Chain A
Amino acid sequence: MSTYTARLGGRTHSFPSLAALLAAASPERSGDRLAGLAADSAEARVAARWALAEVPLARFLAEPVIPYEDDDVTRLIVDTHDARAFAPVAGLCVGEFREWLLSDAADAGSLAALAPGLTPEMVAAVSKLMGNADLVAVARKARVVTAFRSTIGLPGRLATRLQPNHPTDDPAGVAAALLDGLLLGSGDAVIGINPATDSPKAVRDLLELLDGVIRRYAIPTQSCVLCHVTTSIDLMERGAPVDLVFQSIAGTQAANASFGVTLGLLDEAYDAARGLGRGTAGQNALYFETGQGSALSANAHHGVDQQTVEARAYAVARRYDPLLVNTVVGFIGPEYLYDGRQILRAALEDHFCGKLLGLPMGLDICYTNHADADDDDIATMLTMLGVAGASFVICTPGGDDIMLNYQSASYHDALYLREVLGLRPAPEFEDWLSRIGLLDDAGAIRDVTGTAHPLTAIGRELAA
Chain B
Amino acid sequence: MTNRPPAAYEGESDRAMWAALRRHTQARIGLGRAGSALPTRHRLELQAAHAAARDAVHTPFAPDVVAAALTGFPTIRVRSAAPDRLGYLQRPDLGRRLDAADRAHLPRDDWDVVFVVADGLSSRAVHEHAAAMVHATTALLPADLRVAPVVLAEQARVALGDDIAHAMGARMTVVLVGERPGMSAADSLGAYLTYAPRPGTTTDADRNCLSNIRPPLGLAYATAAARLTALMKRAHELGRTGVDLKDESTESAEAPALTPTT
A residues contacting B by CB (< 8 A) are 30, 33-34, 164-167, 170, 172-177, 179-180, 184, 333-335, 338, 368-370, 374-375, 396-400, 402, 405-407, 410, 412, 415-416, 418-419, 437, 440-441, 446-453, 456, 459-460, 462-463
- Indicate whether B205 reaches chain A with its CB closer than 8 angstroms: no
24 contacts between A and B (CB under 8 A): A164-B27, A166-B27, A176-B29, A179-B29, A180-B30, A369-B181, A374-B47, A375-B46, A398-B28, A398-B42, A400-B46, A405-B180, A405-B185, A406-B182, A412-B31, A412-B37, A419-B35, A440-B1, A440-B4, A448-B5, A449-B9, A451-B14, A452-B10, A462-B24
**Residues on the A chain within 8 Å of B50, using CB:** 369, 374-375, 407
Decide if B10 touches A449 in the complex (CB within 8 Å).
yes
- Indicate whether B54 reaches chain A with its CB closer than 8 angstroms: yes
Chain A, residue nearest B53 (CB): A369
> How far apart sit A267 and B181, CA to CA, in the bound complex (Å)?
39
- Indicate whether B40 reaches chain A with its CB closer than 8 angstroms: no
> How far apart sit A415 and B185, CA to CA, in the bound complex (Å)?
28
Chain A, residue nearest B15 (CB): A450
Decide if A369 touches B180 in the complex (CB within 8 Å).
yes
**Residues on the A chain within 8 Å of B250, using CB:** none
Decide if A460 touches B17 in the complex (CB within 8 Å).
yes
Q: Other than the known A174-B25, A397-B27, what 12 A-B pairs have Cβ atoms closer than 8 Å?
A: A167-B26, A173-B24, A176-B21, A176-B24, A180-B29, A369-B50, A400-B49, A402-B183, A406-B182, A451-B17, A452-B14, A459-B18
> How far apart sit A463 and B183, CA to CA, in the bound complex (Å)?
26
Decide if A370 touches B29 in the complex (CB within 8 Å).
no
- Indicate whether B149 reaches chain A with its CB closer than 8 angstroms: no
B218 CB → nearest A CB, Å: 12
B200 CB → nearest A CB, Å: 13
> How far apart sit A338 and B89, CA to CA, in the bound complex (Å)?
8
A452-B9 CB under 8 A given contacts A397-B29, A407-B183: yes
B residues contacting A by CB (< 8 A) are 1, 3-5, 9-11, 13-14, 16-18, 20-22, 24-31, 33, 35-38, 42, 46-47, 49-50, 53-54, 56-57, 89-93, 121, 180-186
Closest 9 CB pairs of A and B: A398-B28, A463-B20, A405-B182, A173-B25, A369-B53, A415-B36, A180-B29, A452-B5, A172-B24
Decide if A398 touches B38 in the complex (CB within 8 Å).
yes
B211 CB → nearest A CB, Å: 11
> How far apart sit A397 and B32, CA to CA, in the bound complex (Å)?
11
A397-B5 CB under 8 A given contacts A407-B183, A415-B36: no
Decide if A369 touches B183 in the complex (CB within 8 Å).
yes
**Residues on the B chain within 8 Å of A437, using CB:** 3
A12 CB → nearest B CB, Å: 30
**Residues on the A chain within 8 Å of B186, using CB:** 369
Decide if B89 touches A335 in the complex (CB within 8 Å).
yes
A370-B180 CB under 8 A given contacts A334-B90, A449-B9: yes
Chain A, residue nearest B31 (CB): A398
A447-B33 CB under 8 A given contacts A334-B90, A369-B57: yes
Pick the residue among B17, B37, B46 that contacts A456 (CB under 8 A).
B17
Pick the residue among B9, B17, B180 that contacts A459 (CB under 8 A).
B17
> How far apart sit A375 and B29, CA to CA, in the bound complex (Å)?
18
Decide if A462 touches B21 in the complex (CB within 8 Å).
yes
Decide if A402 touches B27 in the complex (CB within 8 Å).
yes
> How far apart sit A172 and B25, CA to CA, in the bound complex (Å)?
8
> How far apart sit A281 and B86, CA to CA, in the bound complex (Å)?
49
Decide if A412 touches B27 in the complex (CB within 8 Å).
no
Decide if B183 touches A173 in the complex (CB within 8 Å).
no
Decide if A368 touches B180 in the complex (CB within 8 Å).
yes
**Residues on the B chain within 8 Å of A34, using CB:** 90-93
Decide if A451 touches B91 in the complex (CB within 8 Å).
no
> How far apart sit A406 and B24, CA to CA, in the bound complex (Å)?
20
Decide if B90 touches A30 in the complex (CB within 8 Å).
yes
Decide if B25 touches A177 in the complex (CB within 8 Å).
yes
B163 CB → nearest A CB, Å: 19
A454 CB → nearest B CB, Å: 11
Decide if A179 touches B27 in the complex (CB within 8 Å).
no
Decide if A449 touches B180 in the complex (CB within 8 Å).
no
B236 CB → nearest A CB, Å: 30
A433 CB → nearest B CB, Å: 12
Decide if B25 touches A402 in the complex (CB within 8 Å).
yes
**Residues on the A chain within 8 Å of B42, using CB:** 398
**Residues on the A chain within 8 Å of B56, using CB:** 369
Decide if B27 touches A180 in the complex (CB within 8 Å).
yes
> How far apart sit A33 and B183, CA to CA, in the bound complex (Å)?
29
**Residues on the B chain within 8 Å of A369, using CB:** 50, 53-54, 56-57, 180-183, 186
Pick the residue among A33, A165, A451 that contacts B90 (CB under 8 A).
A33
> How far apart sit A419 and B36, CA to CA, in the bound complex (Å)?
8
Chain A, residue nearest B86 (CB): A338
> How far apart sit A459 and B50, CA to CA, in the bound complex (Å)?
29
**Residues on the A chain within 8 Å of B25, using CB:** 166, 170, 172-174, 176-177, 402
**Residues on the B chain within 8 Å of A400, using CB:** 27-28, 46, 49, 183-184
A436 CB → nearest B CB, Å: 10
> How far apart sit A184 and B38, CA to CA, in the bound complex (Å)?
12
**Residues on the A chain within 8 Å of B53, using CB:** 369
Decide if A410 touches B38 in the complex (CB within 8 Å).
yes
Decide if B36 touches A416 in the complex (CB within 8 Å).
yes
**Residues on the B chain within 8 Å of A406, using CB:** 182
A161 CB → nearest B CB, Å: 15
Decide if A375 touches B47 in the complex (CB within 8 Å).
yes
Decide if B37 touches A416 in the complex (CB within 8 Å).
yes
Decide if A446 touches B24 in the complex (CB within 8 Å).
no
**Residues on the A chain within 8 Å of B30, using CB:** 180, 450
